[in-house]
Chains A and B, each alone.
Chain A
Amino acid sequence: MNRWLNRSVTLVLTALIGWGLWSVLHWLLLAADWRVVVSNLPLYVVGSYPVDQRWRPLLWMVALVVLIGFTLLGPRRGPLQRWLPLIWLAMAPLGLWLVAGGLVLEPVSTRDWGGFTLTLLLTFGSGLLALPIGVLLALGRRSRLPVLRLSSTAYIELMRAVPLIAVLFFGQLLIPLFLPPGLEINRVLRAVLAFAFFAAAYIAEDVRGGLQAIPPMQREAAAVLGLSEWQSLQLVVLPQALRIALPSLTNQAVGLLQNTSLMAILGLVELLGISRSLLANPVFIGRFLEVYLWLAAVYWLACTAMALLARHLELRLDPLRSDR
């Protein structure tokens, strides 16, 4: 009796899954019209960037892909490995220079930045700004000076109590009102700043968790060796605390990447923004499913790359598992 029940349940489930797979495949291969994706690929990548300059953001992206591949699959030792962290840090200014121009390159206004390039620039830029601010806030919250402690705590609690979209509106609409006339911060920079100041509050709490996990005796051991408080922080406490905070920091980075899509509401044409404007084109009317599925795939790919890199970093930093 029981066996028959099992068999029939298995049969029904298999049939359901098969039917589901069949209809998805049928839609993907026959019903869907992928022209909205295929014929607009350059737009998804660079937005309305000047056509003759498109090689610049593309070059940056190729460099990123090569770097990711080398980091994950390359040899674990070697002269290049030692420089890897610096090369990674250099990717943000490199991208900014390639996209914005200046020096030998022709300048391109932020109005023409867009697509996945803009998504990545927003993520990279705000992440790199948010991390040091977050670390400082975490240290401030644990400071012995009441003024520093209270203001850090107030900042963190306030920022966490406000929804991101409100912070972004504030950055886009209100900051220009407070600035003296004539001084103007461009839209992308305003977005990066708003993101960074928002994410810093969350990063601060992750880092604080790491700091709290370090036994106070570690600081004593550093102190009796004659290390100054700053040296003890920099050489003993922070390296351990950041390693502990790394999984939550990865979480923040992934969240940051996805939250850049909110900028579409504010009129920046990053990946989601450019997709929405493509959908507004009468030629591609009604092709929502194709576009959003494609977007999901791109975001998934980017997040997976980040997760793999973070996992790699975790293993590298674990003294007992890396082959040093």
Chain B
Amino acid sequence: MTVAIRATDLVKSYTPGSRALDGVSLEVASGEVLVVMGPSGSGKSTLIRTFNGLEKLDGGELDVLGVRLDAAHEERPVREIRRRVGMVFQQFNLFPHLSILDNITLAPVKVQKRPKAQAEQRAIELLDQMGIREQAHKFPAQLSGGQQQRVAIARALALDPEVMLFDEPTSALDPERVKEVLDAMRQLARDGMTMVVVTHELGFAREVADRVMFMDQGQVVETSDPASFFTNAREERSRRFLSQMV
């Protein structure tokens, strides 16, 4: 079993005296789906944003796909990681001035220097996989939230990432649109993608996660397999959180 992400004692502090991440350590195996849960402000978003350098560390050490990051890292390893790690945001963050197709092909063409025709063919395949092939020539504002989020997933996948990070991908969606995005992610997990997913979707965590990590106040409270986490959480704090979720 190879390790995709190894974090050791991560510390991140936005304001002196309070720590958004307070000594977080974890390992994500290649091909594994790790779901991170926790109340808002628990540091889960901050955690996965450190994985691709969106947040700079104040302490500790990260190893992402063999590339090391720490508090003193440079720009170059961050770009290397970003080329191999895809990310999907809560707010989709599509580029409104570009068509769906151009949104997806922008990075393959400009960063990976692939031929445009080839990148477009791959984009169409991905849109097909996401069930929204017919939207290719529209613009983001013409799509529903669920469709936009699936475009965002396709855009990340177009770079053939080895790891996918999801930062609350369904939190900004209408309830009836959540399922179409979760289905796409479920399919991705089934295909063996390494995934770290921050989410409040209990059903998704129970069904898809290999392990569930529960965080509170910048610390890992417990990490368990989903079956025991949801029926019989070890920690009092986790049980209190779960009882409020249902």
Contact surface of A with B, Cβ cutoff 8 Å: 217-218, 220-228, 231, 235-236, 239-240, 243, 317, 319-320, 324
Contacts and interface: CB of A to CB of B under 8 A. Distances in A.
B147 to A, nearest CB: 15
Contacts of B141: 319-320
Contacts of A317: 97
B52 A224 contact: yes
A226 B97 contact: no
B96 interface: yes
Given A217-B91, A228-B79, A319 B99 contact: yes
A320 B142 contact: yes
Contacts of A235: 106, 110
A115 B52 CA distance: 60
A317 B98 CA distance: 10
Nearest to B80: A226
* 3 tightest Cβ-Cβ pairs between the two chains A and B: A221-B93, A225-B107, A319-B139
Interface string B88-112: 0101011111110000001100111
Contacts of B139: 319-320
User: Per DSSP, are chain B's interface residues mostly helix, strand or loop, or mixed?
Assistant: loop
B142 A224 contact: no
A253 to B, nearest CB: 22
B54 to A, nearest CB: 6
A218 B79 CA distance: 17
Given A224-B156, A235-B110, A320-B141, 11 more contacts: A217-B93, A220-B89, A223-B54, A223-B82, A224-B52, A226-B159, A227-B111, A319-B99, A319-B141, A320-B139, A324-B99
A85 B142 CA distance: 27
A283 to B, nearest CB: 57
Given A319-B141, A320-B141, A227 B107 contact: yes
B106 A217 contact: no
Contact of B82 (A217, A226, A240, A324): A226
A217 B89 contact: yes
17 contacts: A220-B54, A220-B89, A220-B93, A222-B95, A223-B54, A224-B82, A224-B156, A225-B107, A226-B79, A226-B111, A235-B110, A240-B96, A243-B97, A317-B97, A319-B97, A320-B141, A324-B99
B37 interface: no
- Residue from the set B91, B97, B137 with the largest chain A CB neighbour count within 10 Å: B97
B218 to A, nearest CB: 21
